[in-house]
Amino acid sequence: MGLETEFDLVELFWSAQGEGPHVGRSTLFLRFGGCNLRCGWCDTPGTWRPSRECRFETSPGSGEFEKAANPITRQRLVEAIRALAPSPGSFLSLTGGEPLLQPAAVVSAAEIAREFGLRVSLETHGLAVEALSQVIEAIDYVSMDWKLESDVCWAEEAPGTNSGSKGFSELHTEFLSLIQERGVESCVKVVITCDSTHEEVEEVCRVLASTAPRVPLILQPVTPYGRVQAQPSAEVLLDHLRRCDERLADVRLIPQTHRVYGAR
């Protein structure tokens, strides 16, 4: 018998989904520690490196937490989820950080979700193609962040970092193709900043049109945070929307909503 899967986590809490097509839905968020990218607009930089401890919300929406030392055992995670009494049919969102740096833990978390009657949503940077192949059978929904190289770079010190043989667009294309091949419901989300170019966004549209034309494309205006002090004007955002509408059937301009109710 193999060793039990352990988890390097940041937190578990209940809230409403704040981004994408499922915005507003009741969701448990399981945040994994560690990320091999550095996004200029990241609003959770504390997840870039694994933490010595994580925190579990003690009752849903309370904002009260108890701490536990990493790594977390499967049984401890089951207890933490049970304390939040999730409604069957709601989502467990595996987020980060980057969950696919811990593929065995992703599969184990998905198995736990099934025990509670939950759907499993994977929020990922969409670059770890091999890791996706290991977990995709356990996933119900993939929210794939398409990274624009004007705002994002690899973290050279982080595990799982691409050495540069493939660019973001090529890896995203392979990732999206695997999702389509396995028939998993998904969306593609692009954070739009003041530095995002029409050429970058048009490349996203080109790949989607040829690979997954029915997958929703979510244009998400950046939320000012940390180094990001401004967001694109309404004129710029609507121009991106119009251009994408010309290439794709399902494009939506949706800002982050979770800041309204205090989640992060």
pLDDT in tens, 108-151: 999 999 999 999 999 999 999 999 999 999 999 999 999 998 88
Q: For residue 197, tell me if it sits in a domain.
A: no
Residue 237 lies in a domain: no
Pairwise CA distance, residues 234 & 253, whole Å: 11
Q: What are phi and psi of 39, to 5 degrees?
A: -95, 130
pLDDT digits (tens, 9 = 90+) for 85-94: 999 999 999 9
Q: How confident is the model at residue 6 (pLDDT cuts 50, 70, 90)?
A: very high
pTM: predicted TM-score of the whole model, two decimal places: 0.94
In the chain, the number of structural domains is 1
pLDDT for residue 240: 98
The pLDDT-based confidence of 35 (bands split at 50, 70, 90) is very high
Q: Label residue 124 left, alpha or beta by phi (over 0 means left) and psi (-120 to 50 means alpha).
A: beta
Q: What tokens does 178 get?
A: 């695997």
- Structural domain harbouring 86: 9-188
User: Is the per-residue pLDDT at 47 higher than 60?
Assistant: yes
CA–CA dist 36, 253 (Å, integer)? 27
Q: Is residue 206 assigned to a domain?
A: no
- Any domain includes 172: yes
| 3-state DSSP assignment of residue 77 | helix
Q: How far apart are CA 221 and CA 223, in angstroms?
A: 6
Report if residue 63 sits inside a domain: yes
The answer as to whether 126 is a domain residue is yes
Whether residue 36 contacts residue 98, with contact meaning beta carbons closer than 8 Å, is answered with: yes
| Higher pLDDT, residue 226 or 82 | 82
At 180-236, the pLDDT tens digits run 999 999 999 999 999 999 999 999 999 999 999 999 999 999 998 777 789 999 999
Is it the case that residue 54 has pLDDT exceeding 70?
A: yes
CATH number of the domain bearing residue 180: 3.20.20.70
Cα distances (angstroms) measured from residue 219 to each of 3, 104, 134, 214: 42, 31, 28, 15
CB 257 within 8 A of CB 23: yes
What is the bridge-based pairing of β-strands 91-95 and 119-124?
parallel
Alpha-carbon distance of 202 to 204, in angstroms, equals 5
Give the C-alpha distances (Å, rounded to integers) separating 50 from 11, 43, 116, 135, 152: 11, 16, 27, 21, 20
Whether residue 61 is contained in a domain is answered as: yes
pLDDT tops 60 at residue 39: yes
| Alpha helices for 68-121 (secondary structure H) | 74-83, 103-115
pLDDT given for residue 163 in this prediction: 47
Cis omega before residue 45 (within 30°)? no
